[in-house]
Amino acid sequence: MSPVVNREVMREHLALISARTEPGRYAVVIMDGEGWHTAECASEFPNLSIIKLPPYTNLSKNVV
């Protein structure tokens, strides 16, 4: 948990995901439209991609 959220914190989080992804595997992180959720944050990790949800997507109503 972090007391702040920004691009640097997001990059650190993605670094942890990337490090925990087994060799030969690929991680996909699904994000909403927050300003710090950018594809550029993932560009330095060759085993990780970001998929951004369309605006106004509410997963809490769609998760079964």
Containing 48, the helix (H) or strand (E) segment is: strand 48-52
- How many CA atoms does the CB half-sphere of 46 hold within 13 Å? 2
pLDDT surpassing 80 at residue 1: no
Q: Where along the chain do its domains lie?
A: 7-55
**Per-residue pLDDT band at 57 (split at 50, 70, 90):** low
The model's confidence at residue 33, banded by pLDDT at 50, 70 and 90, is confident
Q: Which residues pair with 27 in a beta bridge?
A: 48
DSSP 3-state assignment of 50? strand
Tokens 């106004």 sit at which residue?
A: 56
